[in-house]
Amino acid sequence: MQVKTNIYLALGLVVLLALSRLIPHSPNFTPVLGMAVFSGAIFSKRFIAYLVPLAAMLLSDIYLGFHASMPIIYFSLAVCVLIGTFIEARVSILNSFLSISLGVLVFFLITNFAVWYGSGMYESSISGLMTCYFMGLPFVQNTFISSILYGMGAFLIYDIVNKRMIFGNNA
């Protein structure tokens, strides 16, 4: 019963985070990366860990609209899920914070590289790549803050509810 409840709780948190994408927000201030790392860390079945956040993204993208950069964004999210899997057995405040931070950095590097490579907006040189990364810096601030808030919030809620359920079962 406890395992089933944990799965439902984790699923509910991921779906709630995905739905919060639909709330008006500042550019790049979304729960997406925190959700992906959380999913990788909490779901022990790898298929579920990847399926849930990617399906949640797809469902919200159906409403928000499809765009050309979706494949690279979904790939970057899958990498964030992978990062979360590295802390699965060792979830802590520090590990969660570091994993989410690494997820933000990796997402930033991958997606901005894709913009540089495929958009034609920047010169095809190291200088053009550095310019692309520099131009993306204002957006990474919102991504970092939102990922930490949403991701750490999900880890905290999950931990609190689990401790209350365990305490309640022992009483």
* pLDDT tens string 43-97: 999 999 999 889 888 988 898 899 999 999 999 999 999 999 999 889 999 999 9
DSSP string, the chain: -HHHHHHHHHHHHHHHHHHGGGS--STT--SHHHHHHHHHHH-SSHHHHHHHHHHHHHHHHHHH---TTHHHHHHHHHHHHHHHHTTGGG--HHHHHHHHHHHHHHHHHHHHHHHHHHHSSS-SSHHHHHHHHHHHHHHHHHHHHHHHHHHHHHHHHHHHHHHHHHHHHH-
Angle at 147 between CA 2 and CA 65, to 5 degrees: 95
Length of the chain: 171
Confidence (pLDDT) at 170? 40
pLDDT in tens, 93-136: 999 999 999 999 999 999 999 999 999 999 999 999 999 999 99
Please say whether the beta carbons of 43 and 75 come within 8 A: no
pLDDT of residue 171: 34
Q: Hey, what are 70's tokens?
A: 């979706």
Give the pLDDT of residue 168: 52
Decide if pLDDT at 166 tops 70: no
The model's pTM: 0.88
| pLDDT for position 15 | 79
Band of residue 7 on the pLDDT scale cut at 50, 70, 90: confident
The residue whose two tokens read 């709780």 is 9
Residue spans of the domains in the chain: they are: 2-162
